[in-house]
Amino acid sequence: MAELYQNDQQVSDGANLIISMLVRYPEIGTINFNPDANSLKLTFMISGIPTAGDFESSKTLIVNSIAAYHMLQGITNINVDIELSSYEQVAMLNYIRDVQTLSRGEINLVIKLLRERFGERLVADHNDAMMEEDLLFQDEVIEDMLESMRKQYNDHHSLIGIREDGRVFVFNK
């Protein structure tokens, strides 16, 4: 496994983006960065397995909502993929997006849709210690890191961020 150095700005931006997203959005269980596709895979956990029809209707709702959001933002040519897998009684919904057109507003929209659709079944690791100014700071960091990765991320470090027992870990794959 390659080592990450503090002075490696590109790896640092990717790691900072993943850390900030996991801290800011307790609904996201893991984040994978694929440098070859320049994409992020956000994994959400849902207790219980949705039926195929429920998943398809949720997927359609998310895809249509994101298309409308991007149309209002004037953004075209987005890459969205939504997959569902399961393990025992937990479903993992993977939301895969290209970094070039992903925005904080879109992430907020997807999480809001998932909360409305799955309610308490959407697994979240809430941190009650987060204050409003912390959330605003994380929002700014996320926006800055997304912009930085759009402009200059050309290194080939695959990163994965996970949440475990209220802590966030980022690894270089």
* Span 13-22, pLDDT tens digits: 788 889 999 9
Residue 2: the pLDDT is 38
Provide DSSP, 17-36.
Answer: HHHHHHHH-TTEEEEEEETT
Which residue, among 87, 88, 96, has the nearest Cα to 31 in the 3D structure?
Answer: 96
Residue 74 corresponds to which tokens in the numbers above?
């004037």
* Span 57-107, pLDDT tens digits: 999 999 999 999 999 999 888 889 999 998 899 999 999 999 889 999 999
CA distances from 146 to 51, 102, 112, 143, 169 (A): 34, 8, 20, 5, 19
Could you tell me how many residues make up the chain?
A: 173
pTM: 0.86
CA–CA dist 142, 73 (Å, integer): 18
Q: Where are the domains of the chain?
A: 9-19+39-172
Query: Cβ distance 38 to 152 under 8 Å?
Result: no
Mean pLDDT over all residues of the chain?
85
Residue 153: the pLDDT is 56
